[in-house]
């Protein structure tokens, strides 16, 4: 590409030294060369800073004075961006070599303000667990995302000027899904670019943030849905069925949290109102009456 736009890749890090070098190296291996890494060290106490500072000037290192929630940390890092586009990479995940090149081309040619693509899930040792292809095609897909939210954070690219002009950022109060909140706000009124190709690897790690904050997942998703429904009542009316599905999924997260906490009785109670929304919810409800441990149930659910 000629006159290639700068892409700022945000890496928010808190004690992520285990896989950090591999993550950074995957950016340096990009076929697209006009990028910078905005490395936000969220007051790590491990060797993350030493690893990050071992790279050249393309990695811009920022040390937080104190540890903050994920949403606030991402917003602080976003303030340091100078690129036309913004992308994201967590410290245990990986970019495929052509990830940036493919997305910049798609967004430049179609003037999208947001895009995302397919992901491969890997384990702690880098072995592929499963492939997660995207279902949607590029276009206005808000209703589809309500039905099935499929945006992998690591695969996202945003137009920075759109965020600035519309005063959009990650909600500082969100600990589990500030990305879902921001991306659904954008998708509610803008077309979305979708890369069908696999462009990132998402690493599933024990004791991850998503595990540790499972109990608040449902409530945070509902905050986002409530906010969009309040701001855009016409969308709530037009996509009533899809909104109901999304609210049901948020309550399903509450069920998973109860199972994780070994409270099967509470899980059954929360699951019962959902059984007619989806066939798999009905099957889960029946599963909760079997003499199975919470670990086995979570394994069946791939959690």
Each residue's pLDDT tens digit, 19-31: 999 999 999 999 9
The CA distances from residue 144 to 6, 105, 172, 253, 301, in Å, are 31, 24, 27, 19, 22
For domain 7-206, give its CATH number from 3.40.50.620, 3.90.550.10, 1.20.120.1750, 3.40.50.300. Answer: 3.90.550.10
Q: What's the mean pLDDT in 57-66? A: 96
Would you state the pLDDT for residue 209?
45
Residue 172 above 90 pLDDT? no
From CA 91, how far away is CA 96, in angstroms rounded?
A: 15
Q: Tokens 């493919």 sit at which residue? A: 102
Would you state the pLDDT for residue 94?
98
From CA 12, how far away is CA 273, in angstroms rounded?
A: 38
Residue 16 above 70 pLDDT? yes
Residue 207 above 60 pLDDT? no
Band of the pLDDT at 210, cuts 50, 70, 90? Answer: low
108-141: pLDDT as tens digits:
999 999 999 999 999 999 999 999 999 999 999 9
Would you state the pLDDT for residue 1?
45
Strand, helix or coil for residue 24: helix
Torsion of CA 208, 211, 213, 217, to 10 degrees: 130
What is this structure's pTM?
A: 0.91
Mean pLDDT of the chain: 94
Distance linking the first and last C-alpha atoms of the chain: 41
* Domain boundaries of the chain, sorted by first residue: 7-206, 213-300
Q: What's the mean pLDDT in 160-189? A: 93
Minimal CA–CA distance to 195: which of 112, 83, 86?
A: 112
Q: What's the mean pLDDT in 53-64? A: 97
């Amino acid at each position: 590409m000629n006159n290639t736009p700068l892409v700022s890749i945000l890496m928010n890090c808190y004690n992520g030294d285990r896989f950090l070098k591999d993550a950074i190296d995957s950016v340096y291996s990009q076929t697209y060369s006009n990028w910078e890494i905005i490395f936000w060290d969220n007051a790590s106490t491990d060797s993350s800073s030493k690893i990050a500072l071992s790279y050249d000037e393309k990695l811009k290192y920022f040390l937080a004075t104190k540890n903050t929630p994920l949403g606030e940390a991402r917003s602080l890092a976003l303030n340091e961006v100078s690129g036309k586009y913004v992308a994201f990479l967590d410290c245990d995940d990986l970019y495929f070599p052509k990830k940036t090149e493919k997305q910049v081309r798609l967004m430049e040619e179609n003037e999208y303000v947001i895009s995302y693509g397919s992901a491969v899930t890997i384990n702690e040792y880098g072995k592929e667990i499963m492939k997660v292809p995207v279902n949607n095609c590029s276009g206005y897909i808000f209703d589809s995302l309500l039905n099935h939210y499929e945006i992998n954070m690591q695969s996202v690219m945003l137009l920075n000027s759109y965020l600035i002009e519309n005063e959009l950022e990650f909600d500082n109060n969100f600990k589990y899904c500030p990305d879902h909140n921001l991306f659904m706000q954008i998708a509610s009124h803008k077309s979305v670019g979708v890369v069908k190709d696999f462009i990132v690897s998402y690493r599933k790690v024990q004791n991850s943030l998503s595990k540790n904050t499972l109990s608040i997942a449902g409530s945070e998703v509902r905050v986002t849905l409530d906010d969009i429904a309040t701001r855009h009542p016409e969308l709530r009316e037009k996509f009533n069925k899809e909104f109901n599905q999304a609210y049901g999924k948020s309550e399903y997260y509450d069920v998973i949290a109860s199972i994780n906490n070994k409270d099967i009785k509470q899980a059954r109670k929360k699951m019962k109102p959902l059984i007619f929304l989806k066939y798999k919810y009905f099957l889960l409800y029946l599963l909760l009456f079997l003499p199975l441990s919470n670990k086995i149930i979570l394994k069946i659910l791939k959690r």
